[in-house]
Amino acid sequence: MPLNNKVKEKIATEVIKTLVAIFENFTSSDSENINNPFYTAFTNNFTDKFKNKVSDIPFFISLSSWMHGLNTTLGQTFFENIAHHISNGEKREYTSKRLGNLKISQTQRNRIAQIIADLSNGTQKPDLERENKLLFINTNDNLINAMDFSADIFFIDDHTVCAVELKSVKPNSGEMKGEKQKILEGKATLYRKFPGKKIKLFIGFPFDPTVDTGKESETGFDKDRFLGQIINMTKFFDKKETLVASELWDFLSGESQTMEQILDIINRISTVNFMDNYNYLLNNDNRLTPKYQELLNEWCLFSELELVKNDDIIRQKITGDKRLKRVYNKQIFEHSNSRKGVYRFDRYVELKYLL
């Protein structure tokens, strides 16, 4: 089932904001790396390996730095925001600095320690059902503070509490043991915090980098192959505790073909003409042109399209109102340094109220 237009628009605004930042970072990263003598000195040793493959080594270095920044942006911000939009979830932090640490019983803490020890020395294999039975108990003996627990995506339904921790597709070596302990403590504390509800915690991976896109679908995944190449992943985690690629996105939206739809929106916006189109939409003089409406529709900016189609009504109603005229004359996107490319939903809400 297709994502509704409100969700598509939220995804599109994240894409636009991210692309604007990417272009800004691309142009600003050139000189600092190209003129960096340390980069040059360290790469002299690889000149023979670059031969016939890279014609402009300084630019290649700059591009590599930019790609690293892009990976960081997607991993820390973009994927998380998209996940919130399609799941109607949020980030939730039960930490000493946020909502406060949840409670755990000493018995639960001891059982978690035993589960981790058994998995570490190989006397037990990961088993979601077995581990849940050990954790989901209501003893109140010696309640203590649990370790800090946060979830990138968190939502509550009538019968279920669900949390997903988004991870890089290349986690650091040795990271999985700590993640397993965090998941176990999280489940134990949420079971106590939300009595009567089913508790589900997952580790989510936004795509499967082991997929051969020449032979396999870019949204597909091979869970055994992918998890098997992460150090200690299968040692500590049951497959049923993980969500990979399209499996993750479909789970969050509750619909099928979600990853395909996300990629379609990105591809519609992220073209070689992106900055030209973006600047065209920024120019208020273009608002009533056919191209303006075509771009809004192509970029899934349905709220702005609604305003443009009702421009005559809006202009009539703001006559004589200096404040609303100023709101009307704002550009479609914010353009301050910290918020470049952010769609002005506040402007839409004020003008929509006039219709």
pLDDT of res. 21: 82
Phi, psi of 220, deg, nearest 5: -80, 180
pLDDT of res. 62: 56
pLDDT of res. 1: 75
This prediction's pTM: 0.87
What is the pLDDT tens value at each position of the chain, 355 positions in all?
Answer: 789 999 999 999 999 998 888 777 655 545 555 555 555 554 555 566 566 666 665 555 555 555 555 666 666 688 999 999 999 999 999 988 888 889 899 999 999 999 999 999 999 999 999 999 999 998 778 889 988 899 999 999 999 999 999 998 888 777 899 999 999 999 999 999 999 999 999 999 999 989 887 778 888 999 999 999 999 999 999 999 999 999 999 999 999 999 999 999 999 998 989 999 999 999 999 999 999 999 999 999 999 999 999 999 999 999 989 999 999 999 999 987 778 899 999 999 999 999 9
Contact 205, 167 (CB under 8 A): yes
pLDDT of res. 173: 72
Q: Which long-range contacts (CB under 8 A, 24 or more apart) does 336-343 make?
A: 340/17, 340/20, 340/21, 340/24, 341/16, 341/17, 341/18, 341/19, 341/20, 341/21, 341/278, 342/13, 342/17, 343/13, 343/16, 343/17, 343/301, 343/303, 343/304
Handedness of CA 25, 26, 31, 32 (dihedral sign): positive
> Would you state the structure tokens that stand for residue 36, as one six-digit string?
């960096």
pLDDT of res. 304: 97
Handedness of CA 228, 232, 238, 243 (dihedral sign): negative
Spans of all domains in the chain: 5-86, 90-264, 272-352
pLDDT of res. 33: 53
pLDDT of res. 313: 96
CA distance 39 to 35: 8
